[in-house]
């Protein structure tokens, strides 16, 4: 475990600023972190403290200790996300991964939320704020990235789907989520800024993130806590778009009536509601899902809302929700062990919680989907991940095609030519 807290006398100063323009422009070539959606969000620069490895409960305890050491001065006391914040990314399954989780407290944060823009600086007690960081030129796009390896080939991966369907038919479990990985190599060192910019432009309704080399655009909000209101967006049940408006409308109707996808979705919603119930009141669970349209796929989606107990932080809620049926399966312990047995893949931080939290316990954590991890040792390489839920009616070929569709956002961001339906 690596545990670097700030010193005993630190100060976080938040000031209102004029609209800074495109937040992604403040990302430095290295040492930057991002959380963006529809032009809002935050960019973190530099680092004053970090926590590696450990559980989410340990990270929550560490963060509370850090916040107790920081004196806060703010012009925006009512604005969620101001003051000291931390960017965080957690591994899917620490018991079956060589990778580690990370929580990072940035030195500077440039943020925009609901029309309010701010700059937060964290430094020693002698410091009094900081100058606005520099805008960086837009990086050149990645060119020449090519696949150089995968966790399992098509036939082998479809074989593990068949094995999972057999286990489900046998009654061992109801659902399991299986993933695959594809590694690509570029002609030069990958710049995460170009990926962030492309993903944010192409997928504005998703949460675009970059934390410690993990970059992606997730459509699924694991948990948001703001002023006591907790919200979780559940996605389960997917179909690839065709590209034509009329056919996409027919696909949406078919998705909403698909028994296979509705069963998968119901299991995911039930797992979220069950996990939140002890820590919330006034829960609202929709009777039926809606169809969420993304440029590459259609999802069945449900937004579960509740009032979080005052002493329960967003990180505590994320720890209780993860792993949900949407990324693991049902029952969770059985599904997690079957994933470790069949996947032949160290997921690392893919499908784990990724997001940010502030000193009041508010924050946002998405599930790290539609993402890639830049190799920290060989930064011209990136590993992309995609998975799908397997239930009794799953067809291995269709599930493989679904993973191909889910790889598209990152392949497009990397400039890799992709087939058009």
Taking each helix axis as running N to C, give the angle between helix 396-413 and helix 154-170, from 0 to 180 degrees, rounded to the nearest 10.
130
pLDDT at 127 over 80: no
**Which of 212, 220, 264, 399 is an active site residue?**
220
Task: Return the C-alpha torsion angle 412, 206, 217, 253, nearest 10.
Answer: -60
Average pLDDT for residues 70-81, to the nearest whole number? 90
Does 205 score more than 90 pLDDT? yes
What's the CA gap between 219 and 210, in Å, rounded?
15
Question: Which residue in 355, 307, 264, 259 sits closest to 56, CA to CA?
Answer: 355
Q: Are strands 363-367 and 102-105 parallel, antiparallel or unpaired?
A: unpaired
How many independent structural domains does the chain possess? 1
User: What backbone phi and psi angles, to 5 degrees, belong to 11?
Assistant: -135, 140
- Mean pLDDT in residue range 319-325: 93
d(CA 269, CA 232): 9
**Which of the residues 18, 73, 175, 364 is marked catalytic?**
175
pLDDT in tens, 228-246: 899 999 998 888 887 677 8
The answer to whether position 245 is within a domain reads yes
pLDDT at 124: 76
The yes-or-no verdict on residue 190 having pLDDT over 60 is yes
Residue 27 pLDDT exceeds 90: yes
Residue 197 structure tokens: 């910019």
In this structure, how many other beta carbons lie within 10 angstroms of the beta carbon of residue 147?
A: 12
Please tell me the predicted confidence (pLDDT) of residue 202: 94
pLDDT greater than 70 at residue 28: yes
Q: What is the pLDDT of residue 143?
A: 65
Mean pLDDT, range 38-47, rounded to an integer: 96
Q: In Å, what is the CA distance from 231 to each residue of 155, 326, 365?
A: 39, 16, 10
138 in any annotated domain: no
The CATH number of residue 157's host domain is 3.60.120.10
The pLDDT of residue 50: 95
Question: How far is 360 from 377, CA to CA, in rounded Å?
Answer: 36
Residues 33-45, mean pLDDT to the nearest whole number:
97
Contact partners, residue 398, CB within 8 Å, separation at least 6 = none
| Block residue for tokens 């990072």 | 104
Q: Give me the chain's average pLDDT, please.
A: 92
Domain that holds residue 338: 2-126+144-413
**Banded pLDDT at 4 (limits 50, 70, 90):** low
Tell me the C-alpha to C-alpha distance, in Å, between residue 310 and each of 227, 283, 371. 9, 15, 33
Q: Give yes or no for residue 1 having a pLDDT over 60.
A: no
Residue 2's pLDDT is 57
First to last CA, the chain: 46
In a domain, 419, yes or no: no
Active site residue 114: no
Look at residue 293 and tell me if it is in a domain.
Answer: yes
Show the 3-state SS of the chain.
CEEECCCCCEEEEEEECCCCCCHHHHCCCCCEEEEEECCEEEEEECCCEEEECCCHHHHHHHHHHHHHCEEEEECCCCCCCCCCEEEEECCCCHHHCCCCCEEEECCEEEEEECCEEEEEEEEECCCCCCCCCCCCCCCCCCCCCEEEEECCCHHHHHHHHHHHHHHHHHCCCCEEEEEEEEEEECCCCCCHHHHHHHHHHHCCCCEEEEECCEEEEECCEEEEEECCEEEEEEEEEEEECCCCHHHHHHHHHHHHHCHHHHHHHHHHHHHHHHHHHHHEEEEECCCCCEEEECCCEEEEEEEEEEEECCCCCHHHHHHHHCCCCCCCEECHHHHHHHHHHHCCCCCCCCCCEEEEEECCCCEEEEECCCEEEECCCCCCEEEEEEEEEECCCCCHHHHHHHHHHHHHHHHHHCCCCCCCC
Between the alpha carbon of residue 42 and those of residues 2, 14, 58, 271, the distances in Å are: 25, 13, 24, 30
Question: Which pLDDT band holds residue 419 (cuts at 50, 70, 90)?
Answer: low
Q: Could you tell me if residue 139 is inside a domain?
A: no
The reported pLDDT for the residue numbered 131 is 79
Residue 406 known to be catalytic? no
Residue 389 domain flag: yes
420 located within any domain: no
Whether 133 is covered by a domain: the verdict is: no
pLDDT digit string (tens) for 138-177?
777 666 789 999 999 999 999 999 999 999 999 999 999 9
pLDDT tens per residue, range 330-379: 999 999 999 999 999 999 999 999 999 999 999 999 999 999 999 999 99
Q: How confident is the model at residue 7 (pLDDT cuts 50, 70, 90)?
A: low
């Amino acid at each position: 475990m690596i545990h670097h807290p700030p010193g005993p006398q630190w100060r976080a100063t938040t000031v209102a600023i004029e609209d800074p323009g495109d937040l992604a422009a403040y990302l430095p070539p290295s040492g930057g972190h991002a959380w963006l959606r529809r032009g809002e969000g935050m960019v973190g620069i530099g680092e004053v403290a970090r926590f590696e490895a450990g559980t989410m409960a340990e990270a929550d305890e560490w963060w509370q200790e850090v916040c107790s050491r920081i004196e806060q001065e703010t012009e925006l006391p009512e604005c969620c996300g101001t003051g000291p914040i931390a960017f965080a990314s957690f591994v899917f399954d620490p018991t079956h991964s060589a990778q580690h989780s990370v929580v990072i407290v940035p030195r500077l944060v440039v943020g925009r939320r609901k029309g309010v823009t701010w700059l937060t600086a964290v430094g020693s007690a002698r410091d009094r704020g900081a100058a606005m960081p520099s805008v960086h030129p837009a990086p050149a796009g990645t060119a020449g990235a090519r696949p150089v390896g995968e966790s399992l080939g098509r036939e082998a991966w479809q074989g593990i789907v068949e094995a999972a369907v057999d286990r489900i038919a046998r009654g061992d479990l109801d659902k399991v989520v299986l993933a695959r990985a594809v590694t690509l190599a570029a002609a030069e060192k990958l710049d995460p800024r170009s990926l962030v910019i492309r993903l944010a432009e192409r997928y504005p309704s998703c949460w675009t993130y970059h934390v410690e080399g993990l970059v992606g655009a997730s459509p699924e909000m694991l948990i948001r806590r703001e002023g006591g209101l907790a919200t979780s967006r559940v996605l389960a049940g997917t179909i690839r778009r065709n590209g034509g408006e009329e056919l996409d409308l027919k696909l949406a109707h078919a998705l909403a009536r698909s028994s296979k996808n509705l069963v998968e979705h119901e299991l995911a919603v039930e797992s979220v509601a069950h996990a939140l119930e002890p820590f919330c009141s006034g829960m609202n669970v929709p009777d039926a899902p809606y169809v969420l349209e993304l440029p590459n796929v259609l999802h069945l989606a449900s937004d579960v809302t509740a009032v979080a107990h005052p002493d329960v932080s967003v990180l505590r809620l994320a720890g209780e929700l993860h792993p949900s049926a949407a990324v693991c399966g049902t029952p969770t312990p059985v599904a997690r062990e079957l994933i470790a047995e069949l996947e032949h893949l160290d997921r690392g931080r893919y499908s784990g919680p990724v997001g940010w939290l502030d000193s009041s316990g508010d924050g946002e954590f998405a599930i790290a989907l539609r993402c890639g991890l830049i190799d920290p040792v060989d930064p011209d390489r990136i590993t992309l991940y995609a998975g799908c839920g397997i239930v009794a009616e799953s067809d291995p070929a269709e599930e493989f095609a679904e993973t191909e569709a889910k790889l598209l956002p990152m392949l497009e961001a990397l400039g890799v030519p992709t087939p058009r339906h």
